[in-house]
Amino acid sequence: MAPLYQLNSIRKRYGDREALVIDRLTVHEGRCSTLTGPNGSGKSTLLQILAFLIPPTSGELFFCGEPVAWQNSLLLRLRHEVTLLHQDPYLFTTSVRANIAFGLKARGISGAEQHRRVDEALEAVQLSGFQKRKARELSGGEAQRVAMARALALRPKVLLLDEPLANVDRKSAELLEELIVSLPARGTSVIIVTHDSEQSQRFGSDRIHLVAGRLAVPSHSVR
């Protein structure tokens, strides 16, 4: 079976700054991989490339064995398979339900199925009863959990999580961690950015560690 992602000689430059230089990286399907590294090491840049949101400056990216051509028709199809939960997720001014339903609508999921998926996703992040709340009036941690629910509701093939637990209190973080670890068995491979080395060990053995945009061996402390 082809790996989920294969990267060959991927580079990303912003102006004259080289943000990412990856000679070779394989990410396997059905795993929960962690992505660690200091601030500015290229984690978010890598996730945005893996989400097909920004093209690399050069190099080859394969998704499930298919070469990724950075052309709109292919990208639209691929983006439906991969969901990125941003470091600072943006919520619309509408209700929590409308926020979570937005992506479902775009995928043609409506009516009772849409309703059910929104309710299930909110239950999974322990925010049952928040459907009618205004998303912009939530606390930071609540907003992060709603953004997580929005990503979960889509049931993507790949979920890319950019520090999803940063503002979440310990009890909710433990709960979300359990949920995240259970996703590969339910058909969603996960790549998660974390600054917490103990947490990264709990997520499994597949680790991607970046230092100044390059793959490196993780040290004991990943901060």
Ligand X SMILES: Nc1ncnc2c1ncn2[C@@H]1O[C@H](COP(=O)(O)OP(=O)(O)OP(=O)(O)O)[C@@H](O)[C@H]1O
70 binds ligand X (CB under 6 A): no
**156 burial class (0-12, 13-18, 19+ CB within 10 angstroms)?**
buried
For residue 45, the partner it binds in ligand X, Mg ion, none, with Cβ less than 5 to 8 A by kind, is: ligand X
41 binds, among Mg ion, ligand X, none (CB under 5 to 8 A by kind): ligand X
E strand residue ranges, the chain: 5-14, 17-27, 32-36, 58-63, 66-67, 82-85, 158-162, 189-193, 207-211, 214-215
The CB-of-44 to Mg ion minimum distance in angstroms stands at 3
CA atoms within 13 A on the CB side of 34: 22
Site for ligand X in 123-142 (CB under 6 A): none
In the region spanning residues 90 to 129, those forming contacts with Mg ion, defined by CB under 5 A, are none
Alpha-carbon distance of 144 to 167, in angstroms, equals: 7
Sites for ligand X among residues 83-112 (CB under 6 A): 87
CA 8 to centroid of chain Cα atoms? 21
19 binds ligand X (CB under 6 A): yes
- Is residue 194 part of the contact set for ligand X (CB under 6 A)? no
- Between the two ends of the chain, the Cα-to-Cα distance in Å is 34
Q: CB-wise, 43 or 97, nearer to ligand X? A: 43
189 binds, options Mg ion, ligand X, none, Cβ within 5 to 8 A by partner type: none
Residues 24-53 vs ligand X: string with x where CB under 6 A?
-------------x-xxxxxxx--------
Kindly tell me which residue out of 34, 41, 44, 200 binds Mg ion, with binding defined by CB under 5 A: 44
- Does 56 bind ligand X (CB under 6 A)? Our answer is no
Alpha helices in 125-169 (DSSP H): 140-153
Partner in contact with 222, chosen from Mg ion, ligand X, none, beta carbon below 5 to 8 Å by kind? none
Binding residues for ligand X, per CB under 6 A? 14, 17, 19, 37, 39-45, 87
Binding residues for Mg ion, per CB under 5 A? 43-44, 87
